Structure 1
Amino acid sequence: MGLGADLVHSTLGRHILADGYDFVIDLDKSAGCHFHDSRSGRDILDMFSCFASLPLGWNHPDLLAAKGELARASVNKVANSDLYTEAMAESVAAFGRIASPSYLPHHFFVSGGALAVENTMKAAMDWKSHDREAMGIDASGKFDWDTDQEKSSHLTIGHFHEAFHGRSGYTLSVTNTDPNKTARFAKFDWPRFDNPKIHFPVDEAENARLDACEAATLDSIRAHAEANPDTMAAIIMEPIQGEGGDNHFRDSFLRDMRSVCDEVGALYIFDEVQTGMGATGKMWAHQHSSVEPDMIAFGKKSQVCGLMAGPRLKEFDDNVFATSSRINSTWGGNLTDFVRARLILETIERDDLVRNAEVVGAELIAGLNEFGTSHEMVSSVRGRGLFAAFTLPSQDIRNRFNSACLEAGMHVLNSGTQSIRLRPSLTFSSDEVNEGLNILESVANSIESSAVA
């Protein structure tokens, strides 16, 4: 007999800060895009999907059918960095075939999105250090601790306002959303640039504003590089900033960023931990812009996290993909996660779920636009595929709206200071779009009625 749902929070609270949601997930009764709350007995429409990390919803039949394979991978936690198995090789091959763009053939796997991002930074710093030596800026030769400290201290990572890239060592210096996540921790003073995000809906005036904002950002990057030549190893950005407010950028700006990175001698990195694996209607969000970065970080829906890199990372023989232990971890990505990732990718491919995200996502965003037109409190409806959001008049109203959605039977997620973000699984259906829109309509009507009263 189990612990009992009503004792879960108090039991956890004896040892950890158990300040999560009040419900308790029933791992048996949850199914598809609904999870079952053991405490209330309710089925909740899941527009949260474990912080956008649940690609097939709950208890997908393909995963249930593979319980034996998953259990076999879980009995022994193999040190994948140096000990290889058929299960790992099959999973890496599936990832390369189904998920990896041809221009990013070099892979590294690790557990955790922040560590995926951090290792793109380390790879970029390694590349830039070799680049500086090749240009004669830094001397090459036998390693010396003090000399290396001085040489590496010049290296920086450019990034954007309202970015979230994680909470581990290097990533703390480029994350700047919620101060609770970075305050009082030592950080590097790395260049931070204005993010020329789109204000929706887009009209002629907004495009003119964006022209000016984008030009100013690009000029500030050039100015920083001119004042601090050959120090910026890379510029990292999210194709759509998730936690920072679901901030979108014009495709042309992402292409201009490719050009300016080349111009100033920096690698171009996309953090696709949240936007990747089909959420936007393409396998990777940057593919909407027809731009090829030097690296991307991936995680969440991919189960196992890591990075993919292009040919520039191989320009120097002594690179992180050729020299042992330059980037590494004990488990190199959990073997159970590898197996689950392979099963998920095979299902995504077979059921054409990236296309489903595009088609059903278009229905969702069309419905959200109608919803926004009907309610003055709703503004800036935006999204790509099943990666959607809208803005409310204040943080207080947004928080009330979020709570009311859960009470009405749908779990959503906050974004930025005033927005609600929707992150359903790739299996989301037209019927579930309608279910979600009906709940949003009911919640908006209720909040508007209470304001009038």
Structure 2
Amino acid sequence: MEMIANKCHRVLNVKTSLRQLLSGVAITWKRCLTSSVKEPEGPVILTKIPGPRSQSLLQELNAIQQATSVQFFADYEKSFGNYIIDVDGNAMLDVYMQISTMPLGYNHPAMLEALADPVNQKIIANRPALGSFPGKDWPNRLKNILLKKEVAPPGLSHITTMMCGSCSNENAFKNIFIWYAEKQRQGKPFTKEEMETCMMNQMPGSPRYSIMSFKGSFHGRTLACLSTTHSKYIHKIDVPALDWPIASFPEYKYPLDENMRENQREDKRCLAEVEELFEKYNNEKKVPVAGVIIEPIQSEGGDNHASPEFFQELQRITRKHGAALLMDEVQTGAGPTGKMWCHEYFNLDTPPDVMTFSKKMQLGGYYHSDDLKPKLPYRVYNTWMGDPSKVILLEAIVEIIKKENLLDRVTRVGDYILKHLTNIQKDHSSVISAVRGRGTFIAFNCASPEMRDTIIKKLATKGIMAGGCGSQSIRLRPALTFTERHADIFLDALRSVLK
């Protein structure tokens, strides 16, 4: 009896400790949610950037990994809203937002509250191998969050979740190749020869198919994605690449309304090149194009835009040749252009066959048509296949987007920024040009790469965190919560730097 009593006492102690732990967690979250932390009235710069603490931490990190891309170290406990605070106490208005990944800014109360829910904590603590052991609520979460009307791209009712943008595109390629091969096979089962030759990377089991991409594109850093990425040499050099077709993406003259005829000719030139590459790879090289991947706005490549008419005709050409159209919305998706998905501006005849996402969506994945769903298990598979904890955050994000009409705000604030940037461009035409954008997904060119880098550094000294893209462009990627007041702070700083 004494032994049983001792065991019971130990169990009670464990339960008490667990209750105390959970209580402590709840108190900590409650403190976060009810704290007086709020956005600064404006930037506060106490040291140069990076400051002494950031430089010391960089030395530590660089001793254990290649870390020279680090710009500074952030204090994410103190960062809030549209401001990032670094470890040296500098408060910067962030118009770059972790390379376009933060939809609501830092430490948004709705996201913290979602993480404080005890039910959600168990989901976070028990990350499943979704392809084999999903939780009981997974189908409902997909239907009620990722496939709800306000989120899913119109016309696409199937989804495959992944972790990041690169693995989303990489696995979308696999889906396209499987779909294309099944069409060639016409419903017949795998042959013995196919099963044996694929194990040796040989035909017919490993067919020679290709994905067409565009000059200036960026689709990720995994192996096949790198073969479709053409923005900076540092991404690709020393890495073997596949011999896949690369078409020209339109290079427009600005302002658009003064160069309509030239830009229409540019559309036709690039589309003719797409046709030629289909013919070359399908018939001459015998490496059929199974799919075409394109960004609605080429982001890393320099915020390069193309007209709705260009995308409409591209879809028709792709369909004519029996290939799939993959729209890469990793950076443009989840609201920064004023619509949930940028390709909604293009009025396509039908939805794209596949659309990849990540960044602001918190997890990766792709929406696709019914006929691209593999018929056999394990054809598109990995251990995690996404992350339910990120869907918890996404649910909170989607609710705030709807509740606060953030897509309307993005459109309004974007128009405000573009109007003022256009006026600044007139006053400083020798320094900046080609102001362009949709919503707050905005960029402008600088006179040279060196000038671009100088402007970004000088903006940082005035408490503005901006980013570059392409060879000489500055891009804005603010949170969806960005307002005219934030825009004025940025615009005033830019005017000061340009003077």
Say whether the fold is shared (TM-score over 0.5).
yes
Deviation, structure 1 residue 262: 0.9
Q: Secondary structure at the match of 2:77?
A: coil
Equivalent position of 1:100 in the other structure: 152
How many residues end up aligned between the 2 structures? 432
Aligned residue identity for 2:260: N
Q: Higher RCO, 1 or 2 (CA under 8 Å, sep at least 6)?
A: 1
**Correspondence for 1:286 among 317, 338, 343:** 343
Does the 8 A contact of 1:112 with 1:305 survive in 2? yes
Q: Does 1:154 align with 2:208?
A: yes
Deviation, structure 1 residue 271: 0.4
Equivalent position of 1:308 in the other structure: 367
Which deviates more, 239-248 or 118-127? 118-127
Q: Relative to 1, partners in 2 of residues 1:283 and 1:201: Cα closer, same or farther, differing over 3 Å? A: same
Q: Relative to 1, partners in 2 of residues 1:139 and 1:415: Cα closer, same or farther, differing over 3 Å? A: same
Equivalent position of 1:260 in the other structure: 317
Aligned residue identity for 1:112: C
Deviation, structure 1 residue 312: 4.1
Identity %: 29
**Correspondence for 1:404 among 437, 454, 458:** 458
Deviation per CA, 1:374-422: give whole Å up to 9, x if none. 2121100000001000001100000101111111100111110011000
Does the 8 A contact of 2:55 with 2:72 survive in 1? no
Q: Counterparts in 2 of 1:135-284, with a 5 A limit?
A: 141-142=191-192, 143-146=194-197, 149-151=202-204, 152-204=206-258, 206-229=259-282, 231-284=288-341
Q: Secondary structure at the match of 2:57?
A: helix
Q: Secondary structure at the match of 1:59?
A: coil
Rg bigger for which structure? Answer: 2
Q: Secondary structure at the match of 1:176?
A: coil
Aligned residue identity for 2:183: D
Deviation, structure 1 residue 132: 1.9
Q: Counterparts in 2 of 1:332-371, with a 5 A limit?
A: 332-371=385-424
Q: Secondary structure at the match of 1:129?
A: helix
Equivalent position of 2:103 in the other structure: 55
Q: Does 1:373 align with 2:373?
A: no
CA distance in 1, matches of 2:449, 2:488: 26
Does the 8 A contact of 1:270 with 1:295 survive in 2? yes
Equivalent position of 1:449 in the other structure: none
CA distance in 2, matches of 1:92, 1:211: 41
Does the 8 A contact of 2:252 with 2:266 survive in 1? no
Q: Does 1:31 align with 2:80?
A: yes
CA distance in 2, matches of 1:390, 1:179: 22
Does the 8 A contact of 1:239 with 1:248 survive in 2? yes
Which deviates more, 94-103 or 278-287? 94-103
Q: Relative to 1, partners in 2 of residues 1:439 and 1:72: Cα closer, same or farther, differing over 3 Å? A: farther
Deviation, structure 1 residue 109: 0.6
Q: Relative to 1, partners in 2 of residues 1:140 and 1:329: Cα closer, same or farther, differing over 3 Å? A: closer
**Correspondence for 2:480 among 408, 426, 444:** 426
Deviation, structure 1 residue 88: 3.7
Structure 2 regions of 5+ residues with no counterpart?
1-52
Deviation, structure 1 residue 150: 1.2
Equivalent position of 1:450 in the other structure: none
CA distance in 2, matches of 1:132, 1:251: 32
Deviation, structure 1 residue 15: 1.0
Does the 8 A contact of 1:258 with 1:268 survive in 2? yes
Q: Does 1:80 align with 2:169?
A: no
Does the 8 A contact of 2:115 with 2:121 survive in 1? yes
Q: How big is the alpha-carbon RMSD for the aligned residues of Structure 1 and Structure 2?
A: 2.0
Q: Relative to 1, partners in 2 of residues 1:340 and 1:139: Cα closer, same or farther, differing over 3 Å? A: closer
Equivalent position of 1:119 in the other structure: 171
Q: Relative to 1, partners in 2 of residues 1:407 and 1:73: Cα closer, same or farther, differing over 3 Å? A: farther
Does the 8 A contact of 1:304 with 1:338 survive in 2? yes
CA distance in 1, matches of 2:446, 2:248: 23
Deviation, structure 1 residue 438: 0.6
Deviation, structure 1 residue 89: 4.0
Deviation, structure 1 residue 46: 0.4
Deviation, structure 1 residue 207: 2.1
Deviation per CA, 1:158-182: give whole Å up to 9, x if none. 1100000000021010001111111
Equivalent position of 1:316 in the other structure: none
CA distance in 2, matches of 1:419, 1:265: 36
CA distance in 1, matches of 2:54, 2:136: 39
**Correspondence for 1:43 among 83, 87, 91:** 91
Deviation per CA, 1:88-110: give whole Å up to 9, x if none. 44532211103112411110011
Q: Counterparts in 2 of 1:386-405, with a 5 A limit?
A: 386-405=440-459
CA distance in 2, matches of 1:257, 1:128: 19
Deviation, structure 1 residue 118: 1.0
CA distance in 2, matches of 1:351, 1:88: 27
Aligned residue identity for 1:288: Y
Q: Relative to 1, partners in 2 of residues 1:213 and 1:312: Cα closer, same or farther, differing over 3 Å? A: farther
TM-score normalized by the length of structure 2:
0.83
Deviation, structure 1 residue 232: 0.6
Does the 8 A contact of 1:390 with 1:420 survive in 2? yes
Q: Secondary structure at the match of 1:342?
A: helix
CA distance in 2, matches of 1:326, 1:159: 24
Q: Relative to 1, partners in 2 of residues 1:353 and 1:88: Cα closer, same or farther, differing over 3 Å? A: farther
Aligned residue identity for 1:96: L
CA distance in 2, matches of 1:166, 1:53: 15
Deviation, structure 1 residue 83: 1.6
Deviation per CA, 1:69-98: give whole Å up to 9, x if none. 354333232222222225544532211103
Which deviates more, 84-93 or 340-349? 84-93
Does the 8 A contact of 2:58 with 2:70 survive in 1? no
CA distance in 1, matches of 2:131, 2:99: 27
Does the 8 A contact of 2:114 with 2:392 survive in 1? no
Aligned residue identity for 2:210: T
Equivalent position of 2:37 in the other structure: none
Which deviates more, 21-30 or 192-201? 21-30
CA distance in 2, matches of 1:274, 1:409: 24
Deviation per CA, 1:238-285: give whole Å up to 9, x if none. 000000010000111011111111111111111000000011000000
CA distance in 1, matches of 2:388, 2:72: 30
